[in-house]
Amino acid sequence: MTKLQDTPHRYGPVSRALHWGMAALFALQFLSAALHWALPRENAWREAFWFYHADLGIALFLLVLLRGVWGLANINQRPSHTGLAGKAANAGHLAIYLLMIVVPALRLLASAGSNRGLSFLGLQIFPPQQPEIPWTQIAAQWHGELGWVLALLVLGHIAIAVGWHHLIKRDGSLQKMT
């Protein structure tokens, strides 16, 4: 089991697989949202990418929860962040993790009260509500807005990992997760 866990010098294979797998899925999720926002209605690309947005979002939410449990189980073994920059890194990671929970939770709340309901891979999670529950639809608006905030934080995370740690400081931080 210890070969799977994190160490103070490097993240273990489970943490790395969850990190990079989720990174790829988040890239697809943000792409689907960007195309949905940028392209006109009834555009084939917009519809093709938007088709999987809900299923992918639920799968990501489940992976976020799994990754959170795994991270907490490894919290004492993980590479540490020290100093003021370390505190900033911890705050940034905390903000990303919180949004990775809050953003899909808001959509789940909105779906529970919507007239469309929600299904995951063909399994109904929430049936359509008739009439729609109006106050739950406020969560749908926050889902979108906070989703873009999450996207910006993720871009900042990438910029710091690649730009600052890998290209400027050359401190090996990126290698701990690759």
pLDDT tens for 95-135 read: 999 999 999 999 999 999 999 999 999 999 999 999 999 99
**Model pLDDT, residue 76:** 87
Q: Which whole number is the average pLDDT over 37-48?
A: 93
| Mean pLDDT of the chain, nearest integer | 91
Task: Give domain 13-177's CATH number out of 3.30.2230.10, 3.40.50.720, 2.40.160.20, 1.20.950.20.
Answer: 1.20.950.20
pLDDT tens for 17-29 read: 999 999 999 999 9
Phi and psi torsions of 126, nearest 5°: -125, 130
Q: Can you tell me the distance from the alpha carbon of 150 to that of 158, in angstroms, rounded to the nearest whole number?
A: 12
Angle between helices 83-112 and 137-159 (to 10 degrees): 150
Weakest mean pLDDT among 55-59, 138-142, 158-162: 158-162
Q: Residue 42 — left, alpha, or beta (φ > 0 → left; ψ -120 to 50 → alpha)?
A: left
Give Cα separations from 111 to 8, 25, 126 (angstroms): 41, 21, 7
**Model pLDDT, residue 168:** 82
